[in-house]
């Protein structure tokens, strides 16, 4: 199966005054597609960062697991740590399917041509209290834009005023959201994804 290109960018910073960043994000891929994970180690500072690093290491060793299975493995590996909120998105571009599974408060939005879907995480703490996981599937058709962010970014950011154009514009979008809506008292991370301009699909695949 061909693995279509995606543009995936992010912006992250620790709580002002901190060096350690308890937020992290990562992308893994295999022949089936892409997996994007956004992690918020509980609280902030070095212990939060240590939890995030465990999650990053765990995800890197299991690039082919779907979001819910990846969360289960993170839950086991994070036992005894500060714990984390983690949301994971799997994208199979060939099948036109996005799967979301999250625990904690890393939230997302999937902006489609005609409507917008909220990606809402389940209650719990990865590493401490894992709920029965319910992955959510969303069909992908035409233009789409995915945004995932930790609770260090206010969910009230306005996307309509911002115009992503190609990969360079996508990074600007992430940077603008971080600059405008990050909270002063927490680590903050936003990840944005869309089909890459070279995606051999409809000419309208670029969001603008």
Binding site for Mn ion (CB under 5 A): 40, 150-152, 186
* Token representation of residue 166: 């190609």
Distance CA 141, CA 109 (A): 15
Least distance (Å) between residue 106 CB and Mn ion: 8
Judged by DSSP in three states, 32 sits in coil
Least distance (Å) between residue 65 CB and Mn ion: 24
CB nearer to Mn ion: pick between 127 and 152? 152
Residue 38 pairs in a beta bridge with 25, 87
CA 162 to chain centre: 19
CB nearer to Mn ion: pick between 41 and 164? 41
Contact in structure between 40 and 23 (CB atoms under 8 Å): yes
Least distance (Å) between residue 24 CB and Mn ion: 11
CB nearer to Mn ion: pick between 76 and 185? 185
What's phi and psi for 14, nearest 5 deg? -75, 165
Q: Which residue has the tokens 């869309």?
A: 194
CB nearer to Mn ion: pick between 48 and 65? 48
* Token representation of residue 35: 């997996």
Least distance (Å) between residue 58 CB and Mn ion: 19
């Amino acid at each position: 199966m061909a693995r279509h290109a995606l543009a995936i960018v992010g912006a992250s910073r620790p709580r002002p005054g901190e060096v350690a960043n308890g937020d992290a994000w990562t992308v893994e891929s295999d022949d089936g597609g892409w997996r994007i994970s956004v992690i918020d180690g509980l609280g902030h500072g070095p212990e939060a960062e240590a939890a995030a690093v465990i999650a990053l290491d765990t995800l890197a060793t299991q690039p082919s697991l779907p979001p819910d299975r990846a969360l289960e493995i993170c839950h086991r590996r994070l036992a005894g740590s500060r714990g984390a909120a983690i949301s994971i998105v799997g994208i199979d571009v060939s099948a036109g399917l996005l799967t979301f599974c999250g625990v904690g408060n890393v939230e997302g939005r999937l902006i489609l041509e005609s409507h917008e879907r909220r990606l809402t995480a389940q209650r719990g703490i990865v590493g401490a209290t894992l709920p029965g996981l319910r992955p959510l599937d969303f069909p992908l058709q035409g233009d789409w834009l995915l945004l995932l962010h930790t609770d260090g970014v206010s969910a009230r950011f306005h996307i309509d005023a911002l115009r992503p154009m190609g990969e360079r514009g996508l990074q600007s979008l992430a940077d603008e959201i971080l600059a405008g809506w990050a909270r002063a008292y927490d680590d903050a991370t936003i990840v944005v994804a869309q089909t890459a301009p070279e995606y051999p699909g409809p000419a309208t695949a670029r969001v603008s």
